[in-house]
Each structure stands twice: as C-alpha cells, then as structure tokens.
Amino acid sequence: MVQQRQNNAHVVVLPYPAQGHINPLVQFAKRLASKGVKATVATTHYTAASIAAPGITVEPISDGFDEGGFAQTNNNVQLFLTSFKTNGSRTLSHLVQKHRQSATPVTCIVYDSFFPWALDVAKHHGVYGAAFFTNSAAVCNIFCRIHHGFIRVPVNKEDLPLSVPGLPPLDHRALPSFVRFPQSYPAYMAMKLSQFPNLKEADWMFVNTFEELEGEVMTGLTELFPAKMIGPMVPSGYLDGRIKGDKGYGASLWKPLNEECSNWLEAKEPQSVVYISFGSMVSLTSEQMEEVAWGLKESGVSFLWVLRESEHGKLPSGYRDLVKDKGLIVTWCNQLELLAHQATGCFVTHCGWNSTLESLSLGVPVVCLPQWADQLPDAKFMEDVWEVGVWPKEDEKGVVRKQEFVKSLKDVMEGERSQEIRKNANKWKKLAREAVGEGGSSDMHINQFVSHLMNADKNRSLNVF
C-alpha cells in the first residue's frame, strides 16, 4: 500500500548517468520543484558533483564503479548495467529508508526507463514508481511493438519499409541502428527491450515530448503504452520563463566556454551562422569529418563548430588557419545559448533527441547528420514530418560527401525552401512554448501528476489515472 501523505510530496528522480539522460530528468525535477514538490536527484557518485540546480537536492547512489563510472568498465555495457542493478537497488533502497522518518518521506521514484529494477525498489517500499523515457515517442513505439511481438525486426529488404502505426514508412536508412543491425549491438538492443517487461506495473509513464509534436504517434499505442507527454524538458528560460533564472540544465559534465562563443557571435549578422555539434558521444569517421570540414569551407558560410578535443586530430592538416576568417572551432560551448542567439541560422546536428528538442524549441532549422541508434528515425521526422531541415544522402560507403553537404546547407540557409523550413521551425517553437506554458498539454499532465502525489492520502489504490 502506498504511504499516506499530507501535501508533502517527495519525488526521487533517477537518471541514467550520461549527459543526454541526466539533462531531461534534472529538468523534470526542477519542474516538479517549481510546483511545490520536494525533488531529489539520485545519481552515481561519479556524476553527483556535476549536478547543481536551485530547488533540488542531489544524493549519490552506487553503480559499483564509484571512482570513474562507466569508464571503469572498459565500455562493457552489460557489466555496467548488471553492477548498477545490484548496487543501485541496494543504495536506492537505503536512500528511501533514510527519508522514511523525515518530514518528507519519499512518495514516488521517477526512474530512467533503462533502470526497470528501480520500479521493484519502489514497490518494495510501497511508493509510486514512474518510468521516464528520454527518447521520442516514435522510438518508444518501435521498441515497444518489437517487445510485444507486434512488429518484427526486418531481416531482408522484402521486410521493408517497416510499417509502424502513427509513423511514416521507415526504410532501411531510417531504422534505429539496433533494429537495422541487431547482431551488431546486442547489449544495446537488450537494454532497449528491457524497458518494457515490467512497465505495466508502473503507476505512470512519461515521455520527453509533447502532444502537438507526436500526438499521432501515440494514437493506437495507448493500450500498450499509456504514457503522458511532459516535454520538451528544456530549461524554462528558453520556453515559458516560469522558473526564475532557469537558463541551463544545472547538470554539466563539461565546462562551457560561453564568453569566447558569445563574443564571436555578437559580431555576426542575424541568422548567418551555421552551428555544428555532434553531441557528447558521437564520433565521426575521419573520412566524414573531412567531407564536413571541406564542405563548410566551400560553402563560404560563417560557422561555429563545437568539436571535442579528442576529435581535433581528424581535421585536415592546417584547417584552422585556412578557415580562421569564417570559422570558430572550440571544444565546448553552451548549446542552448548558441541556438537562442540571433546570429544562429542553422544547426548541423547528429539528431540526438535532446538536441532535436532544443532545435525545435528554439526554432532553429537543421541539417541532419545522424550516426547511429535513435538518431536515424529522429532525422527522418525532422526532414519529412516536421519539415524543419534537410537530411543529406550518404554514398554507398555511408558517407555524406562534400557536394551533398554544401547543397543541404544552401537549402537550409538560402532560397525558397529555406523560407518554408524557417517558417516550420518557428511554428514548432511556438507550439513547444505553449505545451509547457500554463495550461498547455505538457503542463497539464505534470499538474495531474503533482496533484495526485499531493493528495496521495486520499488515493488508496495505485494506477488511478
């Protein structure tokens, strides 16, 4: 039975310890805190020090690799997940017990869907459990249906395009890489499918998206996956402005170089700069890096390229000096500030879901260069469904060549198609703000959740809505 509460709701939020998962879950914690809920982020010892956001507390739990996190496993995903399940279950349980006698005992655990074991911890302690999905509803749809056996992983070309209710037909190019090459990523495929077996026992399911963006995707899926769309989980300062001073996620595993970037941008004309970033995890091949580099130079555009230190060796020899009049290459910048800046006219992106939501929320057109995983269907939606950008074609080696890249940049930055793309980008920006604003669809879903927690003593049974 769920413990009774008297307007003292306390939610523990448990993210997977990678930047793309920490950011939206910390942002959700801030949204809850802004509505009067005590919010605690439970994260690994290795990442706890990187999280600091007003209104929330951070408490460490163990993944079994407290000194160095995932890096200690030599990139062994299965070892990491197994260790996290064992150590995380134990230490998350201790955290719940620690608060049991406090003024605000834990009411609910909101856990990253990659950690289904957290639901078992919640049930063991008689508190609510809510799964949080950090990818798109479309991707949830694909893997949920594969898990239930309603669609099967395509084996050969005759199985394509993949038909999924609510989604456009997905050809080989647009499939998540775990579906496209299931034998190549067995640990990741297993992790994706592990999100669903005990999901029916969860009291809520949340997806970081919004109804106006992916409502059609959710149609027909609700019996399998009755999720609430509560996104975009982008800092309030770039959307509705209702959380005072909320201009960043409050969670960074890297130090931004804001001043250098902003000073450079200030000297540029409105919508004249191409911003390039492939996120914190993606690495381009040396061949692809060269094509992008020469394409930027040939296009003649001003560009700001955020490139991790470890990737700089892939640039053509002497490239920095060749482009110094047009381009700035840095190791890190605040992406939200860059996207919000009036000088930014285009975002060349790997189409990770957080970057996708940020570009949509800030109304910035895109050139899509997805590399793997869920980035591929995200790119498909960006080009064909939301029509906010271009996904250049790869050659037979899977490389986007310079000429194709330059053409895509021009399509987004110049001419008639550019105007239509920019118009669509502004439309989604407006809809994203409305969704999280007062009375919007996402705001309403979060309010329902908060109201239920605040009145938990009146609700004797689980799964009431």
pLDDT digits (tens, 9 = 90+) for 171-206: 999 999 999 888 888 888 999 999 999 999 999 999
Q: Give the sheet arrangement for strand 366-368, strand by strand.
A: 327-330, 302-306, 273-277, 344-349, 366-368, 389-390
Domains of the chain: 10-250+436-458 (3.40.50.2000), 258-432 (3.40.50.2000)
How far is the C-alpha of 14 from the C-alpha of 47, rounded, in Å?
Answer: 12
Residue burial 125-138, b: 16+ Cβ < 10 Å; e: rest = bebbbbbbbbbbbb
pLDDT of residue 256: 52
pLDDT of residue 23: 95
Which strand (E) or helix (H) includes residue 407?
A: helix 402-413
How far is the C-alpha of 305 from the C-alpha of 308, rounded, in Å?
Answer: 10
> Which of 10, 21, 125, 445 is an active site residue?
21
Q: What is the pLDDT of residues 125-171, one digit of tens each?
A: 999 999 999 999 999 999 999 999 999 888 887 889 999 999 999 99
User: In whole angstroms, what separates CA 453 from the centre of its chain?
Assistant: 26
Assigned token pair, 168 = 């456009």
Question: Which residues make beta-bridge pairs with 60?
Answer: 43
Assigned token pair, 8 = 């003292």
For the chain, give the percent of residues with pLDDT over 90: 80
pLDDT of residue 3: 40
Q: Give the sheet arrangement for strand 228-229, strand by strand.
A: 56-61, 38-44, 10-14, 108-112, 128-133, 204-207, 228-229
> Which of 10, 63, 112, 240 is an active site residue?
112
Q: Is 378 an active-site residue?
A: no
In this prediction the pTM is 0.94
pLDDT of residue 460: 35
How far is the C-alpha of 15 from the C-alpha of 25, rounded, in Å?
Answer: 6
Give the residue with greater pLDDT, 113 vs 185: 113
pLDDT of residue 461: 40
In the DSSP assignment, the letter for residue 394 is: P
Determine the 3-state secondary structure of 40 from DSSP.
Answer: strand
How far is the C-alpha of 185 from the C-alpha of 204, rounded, in Å?
Answer: 29
pLDDT of residue 7: 58
Q: Is 325 an active-site residue?
A: no
Give the CA-trace dihedral at 442, 445, 53, 20, to 10 degrees: -60
pLDDT of residue 254: 53
Q: What is the pLDDT of residues 424-441, one digit of tens each?
A: 999 999 999 999 999 999
Q: How confident is the model at residue 36 (pLDDT cuts 50, 70, 90)?
A: very high
- Per-residue pLDDT for 377 more than 50? yes
